[in-house]
Amino acid sequence: MRRFLHVCRLMIIRTVDFFYFPFLWFIPHEVFRYGATGGANTAFDIFLYFIFYNFVLKRQILDLGFVAISPHIAAFLLVFPITFCTGFILAKYVTFTASELRGRVQLFRYGLTVLGAIFLNYVFLKFFVEHAGLYPTLSKALTTIVVVAFSYLMQRYFSFKTGRAFAFRKG
């Protein structure tokens, strides 16, 4: 299984890096990898959100007996654990490979970053759907733009820091 995962990692890295050449002169390699893997994970997230909202929840309120959850928030809550895992794996093994932090530290910090992202997701989904009156899938896409910017900055300089940022500040 470990060999299979290693081969998958190399295939993903080679695929992403294959498309890097045209951007070589104006986008740092790590930023390009983040954009590619983050973009793929985000597309996966939006796709799953659409499936869960429309076909799993059938646009109905999720009644758990002790609390009723609106379908747009329930879809987010159901999709989140899946894309949390895929996002961490891609960030750790494809994007931020230069980080020397221990895996459990990265995971903890990634979790903190994601908590911030969850909060932003919740606030913006509530706002766009319930106050602005936008469709839930469009609201999720707009929310994603805000959350991606927050997530990149936190992951680059906190969750998977390499020490280069601090060396840069000192010099």
pLDDT digits (tens, 9 = 90+) for 87-137: 999 999 999 988 889 999 999 999 999 899 889 999 999 999 999 999 999
Q: Which one, of 94, 92, 75, 93, lies nearest residue 159 by Cα?
A: 92
Alpha-carbon distance of 119 to 55, in angstroms, equals 25
Alpha-carbon distance of 163 to 31, in angstroms, equals 16
Structure tokens at 100: 């020397």
CB contact set of 62 (below 8 Å; sequence gap of 6+): 68, 69, 70, 71, 74
Please state the pTM of the whole predicted model.
0.77
Structure tokens at 142: 């707009």
